[in-house]
Homo-oligomer: A and B are copies of this chain.
């Protein structure tokens, strides 16, 4: 990352990557270590990158995710740009930026994206000398993240809630290929922070043409096994 001609040090993208573990809504964060006068300081940040010259914004976001997880064709959606001049005013953040980019940084406007991924896929976290982990979105609210990343995550969550009202089938991006109606409902509820009625939920999803029932049931549960369903993209 040391060539000034390749990177544009004024604009970045950040991705709020959502995942669902069957119980909780999680966001992917990168561990960050900063050596401040021989004191190691650790915190977390969103996956992101400054953009390449001649790279479109969507491409940059896509690149960040591919570099981080090895996955392609992830569902991404731009939702807001953040440009407050003092979002890069914390000396710790500035120090980290200049060390990792090797560029002189004055101020960065970041374009934020949400991404939805299936947490069950074995992800290859490639982030160079840093590691990625999932964090419960409720816990994140109590953590102090780099830059204005707490605020970005908050807005990202609002964004996916709005999107899901318009395109409910995006929920399936967060579920494994085969899933039960319970899993779907629990996910729906944790995203919208409600508790929906089991029967009304069944009724609603049974009207979705793109929800296909399989001739299989779940296994290894200590009670009646639930039927498995899959999502049929072609019917959206």
Contact = CB atoms under 8 A, between A and B. Distances in A.
A55 B82 CA distance: 12
A91 interface: no
A106 B51 CA distance: 14
Interface in A34-50: none
A57 B83 contact: yes
Main secondary structure of the interface of A (DSSP, over half): mixed
* Interface range on chain A (Cβ under 8 Å from partner): 20 to 34
B107 A8 contact: yes
A83 to B, nearest CB: 4
A5 B53 CA distance: 22
B10 A81 contact: no
A127 interface: no
A47 to B, nearest CB: 18
A8 B10 contact: yes
Interface string A191-225: 00000000000000000000000000000000000
A83 B11 contact: yes
Given A8-B10, A109-B11, A56 B81 contact: no
Interface in A146-205: 162, 166
A216 B162 CA distance: 40
A16 to B, nearest CB: 15
A33 interface: no
A69 interface: no
A98 to B, nearest CB: 18
A78 B81 CA distance: 8
A81 B8 contact: no
A85 B54 contact: yes
A83 B109 CA distance: 12
A15 interface: no
B83 A111 contact: yes
Contact of A80 (B53, B78, B82, B85): B78
6 contacts: A10-B11, A56-B83, A56-B84, A81-B111, A83-B111, A109-B111
Interface of A: 8, 10-11, 51, 53-57, 78, 80-85, 106-107, 109, 111, 162, 166
Which 3 A-B residue pairings sit nearest by Cβ, starting from the closest? A57-B83, A10-B10, A81-B81
